[in-house]
Amino acid sequence: MILVFVVLLIWLDGRSLGMLTAEDKKNEKRPISYMWIILAVIGIVLMMAGIILYCGSDTQYLYAHGVLLMGLILAVVFGLALFLNLLKKCKNFYYRYMLDLNQLYSRYLNHMILLILLIVVHFFSLSYLVVQTAELLPLDQYRNQYPYDMIWITEKGNKEYAKKLASTYNGTLTEVPMMRVSTYYGANHIGISEKTYRKLSKSPALNLKENQIAVRIENSDEKQEDIKDSAYWEGYSTLYAGKYFGKQDSDTLIDVKKNKDIHFNIQSICTQTVLGKYSTDGWHENIIVFSDEYFNKQWNASLKNDNASELELFTFPTTRREQVCQKLKQYNKKSSYHEIGKLQNNLYITDQYLKSQKMRALFSMSSKIFLIIALILSGFFIMSLKTLTEFPALQKRYEFFKCMGMRENQLKWNTFFEIKILGRIAESVSLVTGILYVGAFIHKQKLAGGISNVFFKYWIILVVSYILLNEIIQEVFARYILRKLKEN
């Protein structure tokens, strides 16, 4: 909103309201060269390039928004000029709507500056902000995808304490062997055998052999989809089995290039809920399934160190959870094996994790809604300034048409159309771009494992709400201007 205000100040610099409404030949001239079609085509090409970049790397994703916006501006500004020229050849249509389209024909360049500002406002609202907000909703949708109340990654010596805890607080305990697995980028994961995987997930046999692995990306919903994104296949092909980040000793990690034992043959990567998603970015605490033969060999070797070797999975009655959580947290701090990290840990308490995630999502959603509201107000500021600046000319046209005998309904229609036209053009082209944007978003998400079933529902609700709110604001303002015209 501040940026829009600054741009408008620059636009108004050295001008009075009278100058803006004066019949200045230079300002009124609208370029009509058909060479503009080249720039319009360049704009369309840039939009296509922006969509392609969006589906690329993180850096390309950032550049995509600027490229897409620049392409949209070029396509609209130069394409609209060509479209207006074509309309003049359709005599019946042109003469019928000549009064409504007058400002675009007579003050094209001045209005294009304002149209560009409105496009910027609506583009970011209907693309990035709406999509990111819809992705967060609903805030509490994922609890049923967490089968356990607590997950404790610990050493073999703590098995007895886990059993005692479950027995004392009327809970259930599932114990399975596991080992820590690390990637080269510093993320810890949970390594299990194929036998354990089938036990926990009730999935069919994978028939893994030797160094073959299957990767299961913990998901927030029940959908299981294959992942085709090359970043996943490259990232999980090199793994440190039985080692973890957090212990910064020289023997904790080994050189990727010098050791062939850390390279694995990935058979499949897909999203699946096995334990639950305990990672905010999806790149930590996923399930690495090894062949039974390879896992047993590495697991027995890990027992010689203080590495994690057991996965303790708890469920407790709702009334006992808080008490038992405090007990286990205190015990875990005293244990010889515990991890404390920003993105991962060795003890996950589901209710606490989901509560923190809900607060994070609520803050993120609130900030995005605040930005959307700020952009709506920016759009209104641009529209109202333009209308109030041109009010004397609008008043003259209103009086002239009234004296010529134009009916009240037609006068109202012409006035409303002239006030709203730039905003509606900006909203329309931004909505089309927003649809392309959400299509690219869905494609990118499918490569990474799919998208929530309720995403479309909330995306449509947000888009419709945004358009309706803008329409209400414009309608109220247009009625206010019409009342002023009648009073004068």
CA–CA separation, 298 and 292 (whole Å): 10
Q: Identify residue 352 by its one-letter amino acid code.
A: Q
Report the phi/psi class of residue 242: left, alpha or beta, with left for phi > 0 and alpha for psi in -120 to 50: left
Q: Identify any residues that bridge with 13 across adjacent strands, giving them in sequence order.
A: none
* Structure token pair of residue 288: 């690495």
Structural contact between residues 478 and 384, judged by C-beta atoms closer than 8 angstroms: no
Looking at the DSSP assignment, which residues form a beta bridge with residue 216? 270, 287
* Unique residue bearing structure tokens 């996923």: 286
Structural domain count, the chain:
2
Instruction: Tell me how many degrees the CA angle 469-362-223 measures, rounded to the nearest 5.
Output: 95
Answer with the one of 290, 323, 356 that is the final residue of a domain: 356
Instruction: Say whether both 451 and 412 belong to one domain.
Output: yes
Say whether both 241 and 170 belong to one domain.
yes
Write the CB contacts of 54 (distance below 8 Å, at least 6 apart in sequence). 60, 61, 64, 65, 68, 437, 440, 441, 444
Q: Which two tokens stand for residue 3?
A: 């940026």
Q: What angle do CA 28, 30, 36 make, to 5 degrees?
A: 160
Give me the residue label for tokens 């944007």: 437
Q: Give yes or no: residues 352 and 362 share one domain.
A: no
Contact 197, 294 (CB under 8 A): no
83, amino acid identity = F
Together in a domain, 149 and 270: yes
Same domain, 185 and 214: yes
Q: Are residues 109 and 174 in the same domain?
A: no
25 and 163 in a single domain? The answer is no
Burial class (CB in 10 A: 0-12, 13-18, 19+), 293: middle
Which of these three, 356, 374, 408, is where a domain ends? Answer: 356
pLDDT the model gives residue 338: 64
Q: Which of 328, 356, 384 finishes a domain?
A: 356
**pLDDT value of residue 257:** 47
Query: Do 225 and 249 share a domain, yes or no?
Result: yes
Residue 141: predicted pLDDT: 64
Contacts 24+ apart (CB under 8 A), 439-448: 439/51, 440/51, 440/54, 440/55, 441/54, 441/131, 443/55, 444/54, 444/55, 446/225, 446/228, 447/55, 447/227, 447/228, 447/229, 448/227, 448/229, 448/232, 448/282
Residue range(s) defining the domain that contains residue 122: 2-139+358-487
Cα distances (angstroms) measured from residue 160 to each of 156, 172, 173, 175, 310: 9, 14, 11, 11, 12
Residues 335 and 443 reside in one and the same domain: no
Structure tokens at 277: 């998603």
Residues 364 and 452 in one domain: yes
What residue spans of 306-407 are helical by DSSP H? 321-334, 350-389, 391-403
User: Nearest 5°: phi and psi at 179?
Assistant: -145, 150
Q: Which residues pair with 241 in a beta bridge?
A: 181
Sort 85 into a burial class: Cβ within 10 Å, 0-12 / 13-18 / 19+. middle
My answer on whether 393 and 437 are in the same domain is yes
Same domain, 365 and 476: yes
Joined together, the tokens standing for residue 280 give: 């905010």
Question: Consecutive 10-residue runs of the chain (488 residues): their mean pLDDT?
Answer: 48 46 47 73 93 86 92 90 79 71 72 88 94 86 83 90 93 94 86 95 92 91 81 89 56 50 90 90 92 92 77 94 91 74 80 88 92 93 88 86 84 86 92 94 80 86 95 93 86
Residue keyed to tokens 């309201």:
17
Do residues 47 and 71 make contact, with C-beta atoms less than 8 angstroms apart?
yes
